[in-house]
Chains A and B, each alone.
Chain A
């Protein structure tokens, strides 16, 4: 059957590929998805065992270069101050994401018009709004309606608990007169669609043993498979093939046994994230596309955006039970989200308040920084920090620059011999100033909240390259973009891209809710245009 032609072939079973698979399933087309990883077993996640903290530092490392699971591919990120992070399995990087789920703002789609930088998107917030809401319902998103920083929306579930630490930071923000709000979070806080509610296990970023975190493997994939989508795991795609009419004919891939196969398809959808997608397209060369598939603009792999990240840790005088609760989600401040030219940079950032460090992490951080000494004073120093710490992440909008890019490494390859991606990235002066400003404001908020000591980390944090955006941007001009306003390649009319690669700008928030809204919007456009999809 593998050599039969299918109607739709999706490459990648992560956040966007899963959403598109579910959405298109109602067409009753024959849909196949190829995923290079396998299914994760929640019973094997670290929080099932006593050594859960230890395992976060080994087999659940965030960097594929350190983790080296069989499904991972190497990424040369030596030429970047920010390391690339991802996960390869059914569910993709949502397996390890923290599920912090703030939406892009309306202004994020119009940065050229508003601030004279980068480009406007060919779509806007209000076109995506129904798909944000649909996605929230489909996967189960918690939050508190009425956040004055974004247009009104009503998450289907109540927010994750702030805890005493969230209250402390909220009081601090109030003292300063700054915006703050409980974070939208892709975690179910009540039993929802057959999934049990969040138990506040803590390490969401090492997989959720309860299944309360809305990763794509426990949300979209069960629905998509029930609706007839075929998911083939441990299948790594080498290239998208084309014919002489510039139409994709299918993909060549290695199956679970390492056998090279070709799957023919009427439509190919690429959903491999902002590094994996350009890697696949650049590896798909042919006489008609010598510089990579869908790359006549020369922009495939360019304009990589990574969200430079700053970090501040505050230590408080009283115990806050701060390490309990969803690790990456509590409250956020968007006081500095929009452009204010007096700050010395354009665009803005998000202050993401996250939980404190559990025992091993607290001790390791103290030993590494010297704040917890060796010897007799160890115990007293540990007690002064453990359970009394709060973290703030400074997530900065990254603007598109063509020199920040993904290319193919001339030597590095994965276990199938497929050339690996090479990332070249330089921190812009705008981002550097934004980080400096954000770290100073986060420190100010800590002091206002009552922190007795504040520890800013050197910026940008190296292991923070989760958000991989912009490397196959959308637009109306084929000379300045890779796909059109509904994800279809300008050069190959039956090739679609649905992941964060199509982002024109990066916003200043975690992107997964917007990635999934864009994917659902593209799938909806495909359904509406089925009769003339390739015109």
Chain B
């Protein structure tokens, strides 16, 4: 597959690609303390292209709509306007259409919270559950004493 082509057969231009990264970084930016990367850094675009390519055309349409709205409102593409204007524009468009960029946001966090750097930053080992598993404390069954004291609550039948 060419580097300029993602998804099934829909090309993403360099402008669209840059815009995509701006948008996913608005969803999950890098953490202020520098311990967590931004969404663009963990490869959301490649993740969607590989795992959910069928969803990409609709996402690209949303991004194109965003860019067109920026040009109409500010006379410049979305990537060329300041952060406050970007936020305001996205909020307005999401308020008008609840589905706008919703699927992209879900894919973004799905990708983000499977990334090694992110998992390590939130205190997990970057590994699958099997075969090592996890230790879970048994819990204090002494807490059941009031329940035992109350006695049987089985209904006569």
A-side residues, CB < 8 A to B, are 45, 47-54, 57-58, 105-107, 109-110, 114, 124-125, 144, 146, 148-151, 161-164, 166-167, 170-171, 173-174, 177, 179-182, 198-203, 209-210, 321, 324-325, 334, 338, 359-360, 362-364, 367-368, 374-376, 378-379, 382-383, 386-387
User: Residue among B27, B144, B152 with the most chain A CB within 10 A?
Assistant: B144
Q: Beyond A146-B148, A375-B87, is A161–B138 a contact (Cβ under 8 Å)?
A: yes
Let me know if B139 and A162 touch, CB within 8 A: yes
Name the prevailing secondary structure of the B interface residues: loop
The smallest beta-carbon distance between B84 and chain A, in angstroms, is 11
CA distance A321 to B90 in the complex (A): 35
Let me know if B134 and A324 touch, CB within 8 A: yes
Let me know if B139 and A167 touch, CB within 8 A: yes
Q: Beyond A170-B143, A367-B106, is A359–B154 a contact (Cβ under 8 Å)?
A: no
Any A CB within 8 A of the CB of B72: no
Let me know if A367 and B31 touch, CB within 8 A: no
Let me know if A364 and B114 touch, CB within 8 A: no
List, in ascending order, chain B residues with CB within 8 A of A146's CB.
148
The smallest beta-carbon distance between B73 and chain A, in angstroms, is 19
Let me know if B134 and A53 touch, CB within 8 A: no
- Tally chain B residues at the interface, Cβ within 8 Å: 50
Chain A residue with Cβ nearest B124: A359
Among B87, B114, B141, B152, the residue within 8 A (CB) of A360 is: B114
Chain B residue with Cβ nearest A358: B113
The 8 A CB mask of B48-68 against A (1 = contact, 0 = none) is 000100000000000000000
B-side residues, CB < 8 A to A, are 26-29, 31-32, 36, 51, 87, 90, 105-106, 109-110, 112-114, 118-119, 122-124, 126-141, 143-144, 146-148, 150-155, 157
List, in ascending order, chain B residues with CB within 8 A of A376's CB.
29, 32
Among B118, B128, B143, the residue within 8 A (CB) of A48 is: B128
List, in ascending order, chain B residues with CB within 8 A of A325's CB.
134, 136
- 17 A-B pairs with CB atoms under 8 Å apart are A47-B129, A54-B51, A54-B114, A106-B154, A114-B155, A124-B157, A161-B136, A161-B139, A162-B141, A199-B129, A199-B131, A200-B135, A367-B109, A374-B26, A375-B26, A378-B27, A387-B123
List, in ascending order, chain B residues with CB within 8 A of A368's CB.
106
CA distance A209 to B122 in the complex (A): 25
Let me know if B136 and A375 touch, CB within 8 A: no
Among B126, B128, B139, the residue within 8 A (CB) of A47 is: B128
Let me know if A170 and B130 touch, CB within 8 A: no
List, in ascending order, chain A residues with CB within 8 A of B143's CB.
167, 170-171, 174
